[in-house]
Structure 1
């Protein structure tokens, strides 16, 4: 801090720079007030202040009063603040996060901060979306990315990768050796591309809302709306269609996911949903449940749709589709075959 006991002498001949003036005012304010002001200034301004504060001379009280008045005018115009050695460090810590202080004081490089943050941001994405992106990458690259993710999130992403590739990637991850900084930087640039795609996906609020509305409708209604929308904009249809999941889409699900979904659906709902359905759909559902439950449902279905309200059938189908969406959003099942699984099964 400045030595106020020495104030009172003649003003030094050398005038203070703008940075030194700001540093003097900050130091006179104290940590609490000065710290709260830091949020109004850019990192570049703060770095300039830190550098110029090292040579700050002693300032008499009468000069300091003038500086305060001058600073008030500069502050309202958006002028930057500055500060000094140990005292400025504690002021910074009062108003900024530890990472921001470290960055300003040169304790960590910008790249190190960036390196940490991208994996945190990646963990906020959709596992299915990230899994699809990783299918375009080399298995060794995928292994490195998985090793950097939080474990719980990485497990969800791993389950989005087809069985045929999953074992190889797991093996590469287990035996992963240290990656050179240059290679890590190249991979992390790819991750930044992925983050850009994730942000674009998150910002597609409109298409998500339209898909949610269509998920509440019957397939004929959805087909009509999509055809109508396509006549106006094919691009809009391409954004909405992947987010739509109806009862008929059960046939597109991987068998394992279909079994997991239908295991929690009551026989009454399954029976109602299958009334009036195509033979192919009926077989896909019945092949995914226990033999005992299948016999019961087949027996009930022999009565056909006589006396059944079509609305009850639509409600049952919608309930199954909504449960599928819920389980998929929690990472427990897949709504559609990922690339490679369909061809492998064929």
Structure 2
């Protein structure tokens, strides 16, 4: 690994080298004073930082403070950046920043790649050697590999498939080289090149509104930007959308929801949704649920909204864990 001189360091890299030289305790205290944007920029520089010789560190410290004792060389890495972040910053912020600078969360590079959008991964592999593409696709899940291969141009896709047939003959050194390349060339730069669709974030926000606020916000947005409003609606998953769940998935949701939440949620639900849940219960359980709903009497609409949102949130969490499948209502999700 080549050394990095003072002349080759930009502002963020200089700050990263200084923080590393200060160590976990002092560096962590300084990092705790930075805002999220500054933390992302400096953490990204830490991850990409090469070995910095002691002479360069001393020059940086002299420039920064005017006077500093002899410092030792430092070397940045993802592990070092994470350790410093966790020293002084709340865990929630740490995870978000690490995902921004390293790409999707995962145990290793192959796990991370398995969570990258197939269009993004296909575009990247189109510019790589077919052997690299074959290695990557042989190590992600079959479902993810299939979606990526379908997006590759045909000459390349066939070449990749043929190479995947002999992928086991590759030496460990070659695999290690590809892993290192992917970590630096793809995963570290993923966040800066791929941004989340803002409509997805807004759909989550709209899902969290009570129905009065949601209606008001949609009315205002539709008057200004009908296309954006329609896009957000299509990405939302509401309580009524639970009708798309398979019976086994409804049963999983029922087992995961607090018993006092369901009567309140169904109090303001359509007959179709009520029938959906009750048809997936035993006759005795369904009878008890009907009695609980009747016993509630008049309830506030916002309390019903809160209960329904709790069930939707539970369904989303179960889907994220792979426990259930949430369809989109599109043609691809239909069963014939």
* TM, length-normalised to structure 1: 0.45
Q: Flag the structure with more relative contact order, 1 or 2, with Cα contacts below 8 A and sequence separation at least 6.
A: 1
Q: Which has the larger radius of gyration?
A: 1
